[in-house]
Homo-oligomer: A and B are copies of this chain.
Amino acid sequence: MLTFHKEEIKASINGALALRTKINEIVDPIYDQGITNICFMGIGGTLASSMQVVTHMQEKSSLEVICQSAAEYTTTGNRRIGSGTLLVLSSVSGTTKEIVSAVTKAKVYGATVLGFIDNKDAVLARMVDHVVTYPANEQLKFFMVADRLMFHEGVFSDYEEYYTELEEHLADALVDVGEKSEEFAREFVAAHHEDMIHYFVGAGNQWGATYSYAMCYWEEQHWLRTKSIHAAEFFHGMFEIVDKNTNVTVFVGEDSQRELAVRVANFLPQICHRYTIIDTKNYTLEGISEKYRGSISHLVMRQVCHRIDMEMERVNAHPTVIRRYYRQLEY
């Protein structure tokens, strides 16, 4: 098996879950004071994570939940973001310029900002009202904030039971997904490592995963062309260019939008011979209750994709750390 440090992965996940106490110490008093809305803000990969958590909240919560591109906020603004807003963001470097500008503006309008900043010495870490520093696991961090708010709102009564289950079983379950998807990843990469273009389709909390996997991994790290499309949008234009030789991968999760992805998965065999369905349902997730599988489907998919990435890097002999333009040129 290629690079796969089980114990490191488990420690990383469990360490992220252990942030919950700290997150709640920040979120609880903010909720008690009263908020008008919650805004998840990002750019690129962090915008994708924002899409995921917003979809997650919209199902249960009656809070106003905003998914905001940092660059659009800096230019167009959003008058809904103000003194009653809890603004949540994540930045690995803590220097992303779109995020720095957006936070500067949001502070002027009085928003309370909670930043997950991996680099605690970065400028952003000093700008936000509350900072949590811990590497990676962005989705878990965002979802812990969302779930805590929904717990307070009274629409997530089994919040403690859910997190107890994650703390006990998530890390092992996800590592198992990684191990079980190794063979699939090898075959998939053998078939697709030289694709002229690869289409990724997904819905629900997989949509952010689909969007970011296509863009932040295949395009940015593997330099492979992709298009991502929401499963519901697939039938409204894009599918006309799919023929028997088109490379299409459908991410099928287990949340409320599962049926949208399944619709694409069921349709494809009629018109295409180079499609792949990755269905999180095919993974055991030992210890995770059926009713919670939907809420972690995107984490399951991430493990599968990670195996693809490792194998792709090897087969294409293209180290994923190299950037052609990102932070190499002025723009």
- On chain B, the residues within 8 Å of A58 by CB distance are 76-80
Which A281-331 residues have C-beta < 8 A from chain B? Answer: 323-326, 329, 331
Q: How large is the interface on A (under 10, 10 to 19, 20 to 34, 35 or more residues)?
A: 35 or more
Are A239 and B325 neighbours in the complex by a CB distance under 8 Å? yes
Q: What's the number of copies of this chain in the assembled complex? A: 2
A210 CB–B CB distance under 8 Å: no
The answer, among B79, B219, B233, for a CB contact under 8 Å with A237, is: B219
Is A271 an interface residue, CB under 8 A from the partner? yes
Interface string of A227-240 (1 = CB under 8 A from B): 10010110111111
Partner of A215, one of B62, B71, B233, B242: B233
* Interface locus among A8-16, A112-120, A183-191, A257-265: A257-265
Residues of B contacting A323 with CB < 8 Å?
240
Q: What separation, in Å, do the CA atoms of A69 and B51 have in the docked complex?
A: 13
Complex CA–CA separation, A241 to B98 (angstroms): 22
Known contacts A60-B79, A220-B240; decide if A47 and B325 are in contact (CB<8 Å): no
Asked if A329 and B60 sit within 8 Å, CB to CB, the answer is no
Are the CB atoms of B55 and A76 closer together than 8 Å?
yes
Query: A319–B196 Cα gap in the complex (Å)?
Result: 26
A19 to chain B, nearest CB (A): 25
Asked, given contacts A75-B256, A240-B326, whether A69 binds B232 with beta carbons under 8 Å apart, the answer is yes
Decide yes or no whether A223 CB sits under 8 A from chain B: yes
Interchain CA distance A257-B74 in the complex, whole Å: 9
Does A64 interact with chain B (Cβ within 8 Å)? Answer: yes
Q: Is A178 an interface residue (CB 8 A)?
A: no
Most buried by B among A70, A239, A324, A326: A239
Q: How far is the CB of A152 from chain B (nearest CB, A)?
A: 15
CA distance A238 to B294 in the complex (A): 29
Within 8 A of B (CB), among A135-187: none
Instruction: Report if A23 contacts B (CB, 8 A).
Output: no
Does B216 lie within 8 Å of A236, measured CB to CB? yes
Bound form: Cα–Cα A111–B293 in Å = 32
In the complex, A44 has a CB within 8 A of chain B = yes
Top 5 A-B residue pairs of the complex, sorted by shortest distance between their CB atoms? A44-B236, A71-B232, A215-B237, A220-B237, A62-B79
